[in-house]
């Protein structure tokens, strides 16, 4: 391999490594809107990422006292996935869901999802799925 080609490949590899996403990252923003007669809202969002996980938080509040906060989280790795979402209103009522999936050693996967309603009732669906024979 020529020296010029080797240097070009090395430069490309360094550029690609530098452009890779960081292992841990956080970002967020806040938006505030003000309208006539005191109407308006404020909205915030933040995202936190790490290898095998992500967390997203959102919050919207109006000047009139209404609002909702949302928290979503997910983790994955080693054949498993766990995710959840919770939505909470200003009066304390909340709804949410959780999901978990596990890869079994026999080519199947087990799952479970639970939904929680505003009235506190929960509904769970679970089972095992397998590969479709070809």
> What are the tokens at 19?
């452009």
Q: Residue 86's closest CA among 70, 102, 107?
A: 70
User: What's the predicted TM-score (pTM) here?
Assistant: 0.73
Give pLDDT, residue 134: 66
| pLDDT greater at residue 133 or residue 22 | 133
- Residue 105 included in any domain: yes
Task: List, for residues 18-72, the tens digit of each pLDDT value.
Answer: 444 557 888 999 999 999 888 999 999 999 999 999 999 999 999 999 999 999 9
- Residue 134 included in any domain: no
Give pLDDT, residue 121: 95
Which whole number is the average pLDDT over 7-17? 43
- Residue 74 included in any domain: yes
Place of tokens 């490949």: 9
Q: Residue 63's closest CA among 35, 89, 91?
A: 35
Give the structural domain span for 68.
22-129
Q: Which helix (H) or strand (E) holds 109?
A: strand 109-116
Which whole number is the average pLDDT over 98-117? 94
Number of domains in the chain: 1
Check if the beta carbon of residue 75 is closer than 8 Å to that of residue 55: no
- Residue 99 included in any domain: yes
């Amino acid at each position: 391999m020529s020296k010029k080609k080797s240097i070009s490949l090395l430069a490309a590899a360094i550029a690609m490594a530098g452009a890779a996403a960081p292992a841990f990252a956080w970002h967020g923003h806040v938006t505030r809107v003000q309208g006539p007669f005191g109407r308006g809202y404020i909205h915030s969002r933040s995202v936190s990422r790490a290898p095998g996980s992500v967390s997203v938080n959102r919050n919207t509040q109006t000047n009139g006292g209404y609002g909702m906060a949302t928290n979503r989280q997910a983790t994955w790795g080693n054949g498993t996935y766990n995710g959840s979402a919770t939505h909470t209103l200003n009066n304390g009522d909340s709804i949410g869901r959780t999901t978990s999936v596990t890869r079994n050693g026999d080519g199947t996967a087990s799952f479970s999802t639970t939904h929680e309603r505003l009235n506190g009732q929960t509904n769970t669906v679970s089972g095992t799925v397998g590969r479709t024979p070809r």
